[in-house]
Structure 1
Amino acid sequence: MSDLPHRLRDALQQADFSYDSVAELLGPIAHSALSRNETLPGRRRTHGGSPLETLIRLFLLQTTVPLDHAEAALPGLVDRLAVEGILEQSVGEVAARLDVRPYATDDTSLWVVSDLTPGLDGGPQRIGTEHVLGISPASTSLAQLTIRDQVGTSLDLGTGCGVQALHLATHSNRVVATDVNQRALWITAFNAALNDVADRVDVRNGSFFEPVAGERFDLIATNPPFVISPATGERLVYRDSGLPGDRVVEDIVKAAPGMLTEGGWCQILGNWIISEDQPWDDRLEGWLSDEVDAFVVQREVLDPASYVELWLKDSGHHGAQDYLTRYDTWLSWFEEQKIEGVGFGWINLHRRSGARGNVQSTGASNPKRELLEWPYDVEQPIAPALKAWGEAARVEVTEDSTLVLVEDIQQETLGQPGAEDPSTVILRQQRGLRRARQADTIEAAFAGACDGDLAVGQILDALAQILDRDPAVVRSSYLPIAQELVNEGFLRPAPGTPGPAA
């Protein structure tokens, strides 16, 4: 690629075209309005003609700017950007043909090029079949759940504009980004050069795992085209796989274990069918390989009507002449397929490694599984909690294990005012998934006593003696509960013990 991305980066830096500077100049009202696709409040705050104001108006507000303002903000670049299809010129004016947007995370600041955001100010929402989506709620969700350990090789499967590849490049020696959309690959390569990571990002054309056949990766992150729809009408590549039902997600889940290195992760954002004749978790468990531990979290469920409305609006068909026909066709197909809802969430696959000290693999015949319905508020980014889940999956709690209470756990007690004892005790996480579980007297006391000094069996024996219970019965009853507390992130191995203690 030419030096254009590097020169554009220099101009964006010189104008201070960053997320924080844009937010400060627009102010909270205009910045919030822009997130709702309304540009007028932003236009009212960007009349000064400075380079930053010009770039905001040009790329974010999609307004034409005077040619001299554009040349001041992008010195020596306007003609070249027009040749590359990023800008277009008319008499004395310049307009954007692609979106160039500052993007910030906790640890990095980036710029992301994509197709223009459709539907600003109530305008037409319709997009082309090769549309390259920019930063979206889905891409942000995937970025927040992706584990950020330093790794050798990563795969961004279905890269789109390449935002996941840019994230992966911050902690991977090498990133492969694949897509079937040639425009998406050009934009991804441009974004990699724009953000000075082109030497670490390898873009490849092809469907799903075909371009990387025979390779293995330490980390796979994917937000595939998962929309569940009948095979009618035009296909929007960024959201429609062309496969029936939720087959695209199923195929990735089944193929990914063979693409992972030992200890590697595949993290998927997806949709799945909730059928009339099978619970969602039973259905997804049938996709899972014994080669991986799996943590699946269903975050949201939409009924058929809500789901169809969502995606017809996304494609710009709401209010179109054929809207009702498309709506009816889609709902009829759902009925034929006996689909009563669509689930949305995360699928995390961790290829298991061997035993390490007192922290053991559960064995090929007994992989760790958790399929959790969790529509509640969670801490973001959620990735550290998912990594902790993977570490806990390798912990086999025995009577000789030493455990500690995770630092953010709090105990809540409920009962009538003045009562001698609470009627209910709840252990609640303040971070991560923010799980809560009701505990009886022994479980709560056991959790509180886990400070790394005494072994599990010693603590249970002491509680049995205090409560005048049979020690053998207490051990047999509460050792599985101790395992649950580790699995769910309430307890962890004490520091200094073999294995992945914190």
Structure 2
Amino acid sequence: MSTTAVIPRIPSPDHAPDLRAALLAADFTADGLLELLGAPAYAALARSETVPALRATRGDGALAALVRLFLLQEPVAYERAAAVLPVAECIADGWLAAEGPGDSDSAYSDSAYSDSAYSDSAYSDGATVRATVDVRPYGGPAGEDWFIVSDLGCAVGGAAGAGGQGEGVVLGVGGASTTLAGITVRTPVAAALDLGTGSGIQALHAARHATRVTATDLNPRALDFTRLTLALSGAPEAELLTGSLFEPVADKTYDLIVSNPPFVISPGARLTYRDGGMAGDDLCRTLVQQAGDRLNDGGYAQFLANWEHVDGEDWQDRVRAWVPRGCDAWIVQREVQDATQYAELWLRDSGDHRGDPARYAARYEEWLDEFDARRTRAVGFGWITLRKAAAQQPSIVVEEWPHPVEQPLGEAVVAHFARQDYLRTHDDAALLADHFVLAADVVQEQVGEPGEEHPEHVVLRQGRGVRRATKVDTVGAGFAGACDGSLSAGRILDAIAQLLGEDPVALRDRTPVALRLLVGEGFLEPVSLRA
């Protein structure tokens, strides 16, 4: 039989409901995988390490067969697969490729088993099937059993995600994907846009709370995979449009825009899924700047992005300048890598470190030459959230927070902008007249030498959400502790002034700056916002 490998066709979603039913019946779900594999092997699989999962699936059983087939890319006996799946339909639709005894190990053999009429009797003993795509269980936020479909070997991004794959590769769910899903605002909306959809994870999330979902991508294969992800997850169909940035939706507006774009700052555009093809961070800048015109009033646009740290320029000023007119913004830098670390990360991602050392060195030089030419010394990674507000004085908060956070943060994002609205409409006198309560998750820490009567400083720390921490002085600590909503801020300050022997007028004059910080960062909540 022929052993010629051919490019696999993307499966048809025609019988996706039947395949979904079979997968669920075998408990091929996120919870089912965790129970079968155990936590260490499950975590290793998320890192693209397959050996622990191979060991855990040596036995019989429907779930073990599916794990080997769709996640580990191992051949499974035809009879064993047929006991779990509608194999004939899966082969006909292109989810599986069949191999007879003696066929090549290629998953895409053009043997007679690949395009003939499919029936169990057509297979002799020893026939096997292989998956043509990666089908990965993914648990939705309300316990939904979803499935993310991607190219084989590309279920996750990062160092092991897509090395050696072609430029049109479509990745599955990685850390960036889940980060964006976690920070996205999940209020019900009429229209949502997933720009640069990839395998469709953001469109799948949006389908839960958006009446209409549009997904775009420059790579037509990505739209095909998004269609499969939605169909196999039992989600409504989305409008799928091919094109770059906002070109496919130039005449439309949305209540929610999300994008995990090809933000990697690289010399050239070798890989469509990650390299933007524009100079430096121009793709992220363009995406953010153009988003304002595509948002409805009150709508949110949320992106992951990279930005350059350039000699002689403040990175905060750089990204602040991206914010379009008529929008509030919250920009958080989560990580910074110097030019060498950044180049090495993405050279490993593309598998260059496993090839010819001279070629690897030459490509490394290309990255550093590009950074030197642009005076780029480091690259920042983080989140950008826009809200269409049309306020006379927009709120643009740019900050660095590399510390651990608690996902999901969608509600925290909404609360952030609500606090900015409050602060924007309350002058100092209004602040002092208002009532506040200490946020429920805030604790106080005192730092100093053991046994010392007075601590060196006091720290307020949030136990949930962004998990911020901020230093406060004696007045700040006492004020926060007294905020239970019963007294106005001014009355509390007057009481503190009396206890400390300070001038109450002077204390009232200097406190609003600190009060704005505590409110803006969520340590104190105005009673009116809680209501």
- Give TM-score scaled by structure 1 length: 0.92
Aligned to 1:447: 480
Q: Find 1:220's aligned residue among 238, 257, 271.
A: 257
Q: Report Cα offsets for 1:166-199 as digits up to 9, x if no partner.
A: 0111111111111111111111112112222234
The 3 A distance-change label for structure 1 pair 123 and 432 is: closer
Partner of 2:89: 80
Which stretch of the first structure deviates more once superposed, 22-31 or 398-407?
22-31
Superposed, 1:79-158 pairs within 5 Å as 79-91=88-100, 92-107=127-142, 108-118=144-154, 125-158=163-196
> Which secondary structure does the structure 1 equivalent of 2:203 belong to?
helix
Give the secondary-structure state (helix, strand or coil) at the position aligned to 1:395: helix
User: 1:429: how far off?
Assistant: 1.1
CA distance in 2: counterparts of 1:333 and 1:458, whole angstroms: 59
Per-residue displacement from partner, 1:15-63 (whole Å, max 9, x unpaired)?
1110111121112333233233232332222233322111100011110
Cα deviation, residue 240, structure 1: 1.3
From the superposition, tell whether residues 33 and 426 of structure 1 become closer, same or farther in structure 2 (CA, over 3 Å).
Answer: closer
Counterpart in the other structure of 2:522: 489
**Alpha carbons 2:47, 2:160 under 8 Å: kept:** no
CA shift, 1:254, in A, is 0.6
Aligned to 2:66: 55
Aligned-residue offset at 1:452: 1.3
Counterpart CA distance in 2 for 1:84 and 1:403 is: 60
Q: Does 1:254 align with 2:254?
A: no
TM-score by length of 2: 0.87
Structure 2 counterpart of 1:424, from 451, 454, 457: 457
Percent of aligned positions that are identical: 45
More divergent stretch after superposition (126-135 vs 439-448): 439-448
List per-residue Cα deviations over 1:361-390 (Å, max 9, x = no partner).
Answer: xx42x2112111111111122222222111
Deviations 1:64-96 (A, max 9, x none): 111111211212xx3433344322111011111
2:451 & 2:173 partners in 1: Cα distance? 54
- Contact 2:405–2:466 (8 Å) recurs in 1: yes
- The alpha-carbon distance between structure 1 residues 464 and 290, as it changes in their structure 2 partners (threshold 3 A), is farther
Counterparts of 1:97 and 1:327, CA distance in 2: 33
> Deviations 1:111-137 (Å, cap 9, x if unpaired)?
111111259999993001110100111
**Which residue of 308, 326, 343 corresponds with 1:308?**
343
* Number of aligned positions between the proteins: 483
- Give the secondary-structure state (helix, strand or coil) at the position aligned to 1:32: helix
Q: Distance in 2 between matches of 1:62 and 1:342?
A: 35
Q: Bigger CA drift: 476-485 or 78-87?
A: 78-87
Of residues 383, 390, 398, the one that matches 1:346 is 383
Residue by residue, what CA displacement relative to the aligned partner does 1:315-338 show, whole Å, maximum 9, x if unpaired? Answer: 111131211111111111111111
Tell me the equivalent position of 2:108: none
Structure 1 unpaired stretches of 5+: 354-362
Match of 1:501 in 2: 530
**Distance 1:479-1:123 versus aligned 2 partners, 3 A rule:** closer
Q: Secondary structure at the match of 1:73?
A: coil
Cross-structure match for 1:356 = none
- 1:164-243 to 2 correspondence within 5 Å? 164-199=202-237, 201-231=238-268, 235-243=270-278
Indicate if the aligned counterparts of 2:57 and 2:68 stay in contact, CA closer than 8 A. yes
Q: Tell me if the contact between 2:97 and 2:130 (Cα under 8 Å) persists in the aligned partners.
A: yes
Provide the residue aligned with 2:55 in structure 1: 44
Answer whether contact 1:118 1:126 (CA < 8 A) is retained: no
Residue aligned with 2:486, SS: coil
Distance 2:39 2:499 in 1: 58
Work out the CA distance in 1 between the residues paired with 2:13 and 2:195.
26
In structure 2, runs of 5+ residues without a counterpart are: 1-11, 101-126
* Matched residue SS, 1:325: helix
State the Cα distance separating 1:289 from its structure 2 match: 2.5
SS at match of 1:227: coil
| Partner in structure 2 of residue 381 of structure 1 | 408
Counterparts of 1:238-387 in structure 2, within 5 Å, are: 238-321=273-356, 322-352=359-389, 363-364=391-392, 366-387=393-414
Q: Is the 8 A contact 1:99 1:116 kept in 2?
A: yes
Residues 462-471 or 321-330, more deviating: 462-471
CA–CA distance in 2 between the matches of 1:481 and 1:38? 49
Deviates most, 121-130 or 281-290 = 121-130
Q: What is the CA distance between 1:217 and its match in structure 2? A: 1.4
CA separation of 1:471 and 1:294: change in aligned 2, threshold 3 A: same
1:448 & 1:164 partners in 2: Cα distance? 41
Q: CA RMSD in A?
A: 2.0
Question: Aligned partners of 2:455 and 2:55: how far apart in 1?
Answer: 58
Query: What is the distance in 1 between the residues matched to 2:452 and 2:140?
Result: 49
Give the letter aligned to residue 337 of structure 1.
R
Kept in 2, the 8 Å contact 1:50–1:73? The answer is: no
What is the CA distance between 1:484 and its match in structure 2?
A: 1.3
Shift in CA distance, 187/2, structure 1 to aligned 2, threshold 3 Å: closer
Where does structure 1 differ by over 6 angstroms across 4 or more consecutive aligned residues? 119-124
SS of the aligned residue for 2:530 comes to: coil
Change (3 A) 1:40 1:479: closer
Q: Is the 8 A contact 2:406 2:465 kept in 1?
A: yes
**Contact 2:460 2:472 (C-alpha < 8 Å) held by counterparts:** yes
Distance 1:416 1:177 in 2: 57
Instruction: Give the aligned partner of residue 7 of structure 1.
Output: 18
Residues 457 and 475, structure 1, Cα contact 8 Å, conserved in 2? yes
Give the structure 2 partner of residue 70 of structure 1: 81
